[in-house]
């Protein structure tokens, strides 16, 4: 290695080190901000709970004890598993149906005409409006809950996929056509891969909606699940269990979204998924 | 390898959404000829190219190799200005293999084919990269390799270097001239850059300003390749073309509401 080269390498190492240092500091600051925010929230909660009876607002400590209680007797674990299973099955089915439906609706005008009236009508009706019907038609078992999650997922995934299909660059379609791709080959090799980022966005939004829906579904008819846990706490006047249920929902949703994001970012990176 | 075929436009007009974009164009391009369509932006030269590509319907006759065209086809490869036509989820090599794979060429054979054309455009080293990792000039080379992999008889290029910096453009112009000689394909090249047209074309077709653009002049360029823009003949041609196009630009500006003094 010549002198010039080694000098260049050393300088570049040093700038790399400096950049790394700045990056670490930036990261440390942002983690600190998050911690401060959480601690401040807990403190505000604690202060507020001092002035009212625990039935109205249990303190963080009461809630923590309630959490341990529910953890020990296994209620929390079963609830998390029950709700997660329903969400994953209903959401998975919704994505599995919504993606192809959106692709076909976006690409074939007649398919769009066929389904459009229903999509445009039902997307304004929230799943909670169907809770009673779901129980009457599908019974109080798993099917009614899964169906409601499916319902809340399928529209949003379909609509996002349609939007993606429609926004594939016209020039890209022309290029494919002049390279010899017919309509079905174009659909498979250009439209579907170009639309992946929109599918992911739809699936992510649907995951959030699934959490909104699961609680209403489980409140009406379920023995177990986080919604049932929150609702049953009322019967025992245990407001801290309500809090445990709510916080668990929030954390579970966060974890699910994180997993989805990381999975999409690593597995679908080459399709331009950047979330 | 490829053998160019003729392109004939006979009374060709293109009307899009009720607007006449190109009107009554007559042009016969010989097999293996390099023709540049030159004109100001919005004059309809890209529309004419799209008509040959089969992307837009045209009235009159458009014949490629003596046969009327009915839509896009692999006998006519198209290189676009925008690199968004590359598939970002496929590697460079997979992009180039796209045409052959649709034609049903076997895996091994099309891989060799792709690598061959990537070598031709000097990108063999980037075969396993993805298009977003490449520079603008490299992406245009991938586009050219992808088009060549289908061995088209006619290559249609729509301002392929319009978005590149001047240095990269010069390098790629030399490469296109080399590829043209190597493949023998007929090339129709749309540009608004007079120098580019002189460096590349056997003939340079200028167009009148739209709407309803027509052919204004056709100039033969009888200079040996590689061409030098400082050659006196090239300078003379450049001046003539600039006057031809300048007159059209002036007409457009006046049509847009500018006064004669402002334009002059």
Mean confidence (pLDDT) of chain A: 89
In-domain check, residue B103: no
Summarised one tens digit per residue, pLDDT across range B253-262 is: 887 777 766 6
Summarised one tens digit per residue, pLDDT across range A129-157 is: 998 899 899 988 889 999 999 999 999 99
Q: At a CB cut-off of 8 Å and minimum separation 6, what does B165 contact?
A: B136
pLDDT band at A3 (very low <50, low <70, confident <90, very high): very low
CA distance B24 to A78: 77
pLDDT band at A13 (very low <50, low <70, confident <90, very high): low
In-domain check, residue B181: yes
In-domain check, residue B111: no
Domain span at residue B247 reads 7-75+152-263
Of the candidates B77, B83, B148, the residue with the CA atom closest to the CA atom of residue B113: B148
In-domain check, residue B90: no
- Interface ipTM: 0.91
Nearest by CB: A270 against B89, B98, B102: B89
Which parts of chain B sit beneath pLDDT 70? 1-2, 260-264
Residue B49: C-alpha distances to residues A101, A117, A189, B79 (Å): 36, 40, 25, 11
Of the candidates B186, B175, B170, B108, the residue with the CA atom closest to the CA atom of residue B142: B175
Summarised one tens digit per residue, pLDDT across range A245-256 is: 999 999 999 999
In-domain check, residue B145: no
Q: What is the DSSP letter of B88?
A: T
The pLDDT score that the predictor gives to residue A102 is 95
Chain B interface includes A12 (CB < 8 A): no
The pLDDT score that the predictor gives to residue B264 is 54
Best CATH choice for the domain A60-271 from the list 2.40.50.140, 3.40.50.720, 1.10.3720.10, 3.40.30.10: 1.10.3720.10
Percent residues over pLDDT 70 in chain A: 93
Chain A interface includes B150 (CB < 8 A): yes
CA distance A36 to B112: 59
Residue A259 near residue A84, CB atoms below 8 Å:
no
Q: Between chain A and chain B, how many beta carbons pairs sit less than 8 Å apart?
A: 61
Q: Which residue, chain included where needed, has tokens 């099955």? A: A89
Which residues 72-131 in chain A show a CB within 8 A of chain B?
A: none
In-domain check, residue B59: yes
Token pair listed for A23: 């990056």
Nearest by CB: B85 against A172, A270, A271: A172
Q: At a CB cut-off of 8 Å and minimum separation 6, what does B177 contact?
A: B34, B199, B200, B225, B226
Residue of B89, B97, B151 to mutate for A, most A C-beta atoms under 10 A = B89
Domain ranges, ordered by start, for chain A:
1-51, 60-271
Chain B interface includes A139 (CB < 8 A): no
Token pair listed for B99: 């045409």
Residue A114 near residue A100, CB atoms below 8 Å:
no
Chain A interface includes B71 (CB < 8 A): yes
Of the candidates A143, A256, A246, A163, the residue with the CA atom closest to the CA atom of residue A209: A256
What is the value of pTM for the model shown? 0.84
Nearest by CB: A174 against B72, B99, B102: B72
Token pair listed for B35: 């023709």
The pLDDT score that the predictor gives to residue B263 is 60
């Amino acid at each position: 290695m010549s002198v010039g080269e080694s000098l260049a390498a050393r300088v570049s190492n040093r700038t790399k080190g400096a950049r790394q240092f700045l990056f670490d500091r930036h990261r440390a600051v942002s983690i600190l901000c998050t911690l401060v925010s959480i601690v401040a929230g807990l403190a505000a909660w604690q202060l507020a709970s001092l002035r009212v009876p625990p039935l109205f607002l249990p303190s963080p400590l009461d809630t923590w004890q309630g959490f341990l209680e529910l953890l020990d007797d296994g209620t929390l674990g079963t609830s998390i598993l029950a709700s997660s299973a329903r969400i994953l099955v209903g959401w998975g089915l919704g994505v599995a149906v919504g993606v192809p439906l959106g692709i076909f609706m976006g690409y074939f005008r007649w398919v769009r005409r066929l389904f459009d009236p229903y999509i445009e009508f039902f997307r304004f009706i929230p799943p909670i409006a169907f809770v009673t019907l779901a129980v009457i038609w599908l019974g109080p078992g798993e099917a009614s809950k899964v169906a409601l999650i499916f319902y809340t997922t399928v529209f949003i995934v379909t609509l996002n996929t349609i939007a993606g299909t429609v926004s594939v660059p016209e020039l890209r379609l022309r290029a494919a056509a002049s390279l010899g791709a017919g309509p079905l080959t174009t659909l498979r090799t250009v439209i579907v891969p170009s639309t992946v980022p929109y599918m992911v966005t739809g699936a992510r939004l649907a995951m959030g909606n699934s959490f909104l829906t699961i609680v209403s579904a489980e409140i009406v008819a379920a023995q177990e699940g986080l919604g049932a846990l929150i609702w049953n706490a009322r019967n025992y006047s245990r407001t801290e269990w309500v809090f445990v249920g709510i916080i668990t929902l929030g954390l579970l949703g966060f974890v699910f979204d994180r997993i989805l994001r990381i999975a999409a970012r690593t597995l679908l990176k080459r399709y331009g998924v950047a979330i | 390898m490829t053998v160019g075929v003729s392109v004939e436009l006979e009374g060709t007009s293109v009307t899009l959404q009720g607007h006449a974009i190109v009107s009554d164009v007559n042009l016969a391009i010989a097999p293996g000829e390099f023709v540049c369509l030159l004109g100001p932006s919005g004059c309809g030269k890209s529309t004419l190219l799209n008509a040959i590509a089969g992307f837009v319907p045209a009235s009159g006759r458009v014949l490629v190799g003596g046969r009327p065209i009915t839509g896009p086809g692999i006998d006519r490869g198209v290189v676009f200005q925008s690199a968004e036509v590359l598939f970002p989820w496929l590697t460079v090599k997979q992009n180039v293999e796209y045409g052959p794979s649709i034609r049903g060429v076997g895996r091994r054979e099309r891989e060799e084919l792709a690598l061959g054309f990537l070598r031709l455009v000097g990108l063999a080293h980037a075969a396993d990269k993805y298009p977003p990792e490449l520079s603008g000039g490299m992406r245009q080379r991938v586009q050219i390799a992808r088009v060549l992999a289908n061995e088209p008889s006619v290559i249609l290029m729509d301002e392929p270097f319009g978005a590149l910096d001047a240095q990269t453009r010069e390098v790629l112009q030399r490469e296109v001239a080399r590829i043209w000689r190597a493949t023998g394909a007929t090339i129709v090249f749309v540009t608004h850059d007079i120098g580019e047209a002189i460096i590349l074309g056997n003939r340079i077709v200028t167009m009148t300003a739209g709407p309803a653009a027509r052919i204004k002049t056709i100039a033969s360029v009888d200079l040996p390749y590689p061409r030098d823009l400082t050659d006196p003949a090239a300078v003379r041609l450049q001046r003539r073309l600039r006057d031809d196009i300048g007159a059209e630009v002036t007409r457009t500006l006046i049509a847009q509401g500018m006064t004669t003094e402002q334009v002059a």
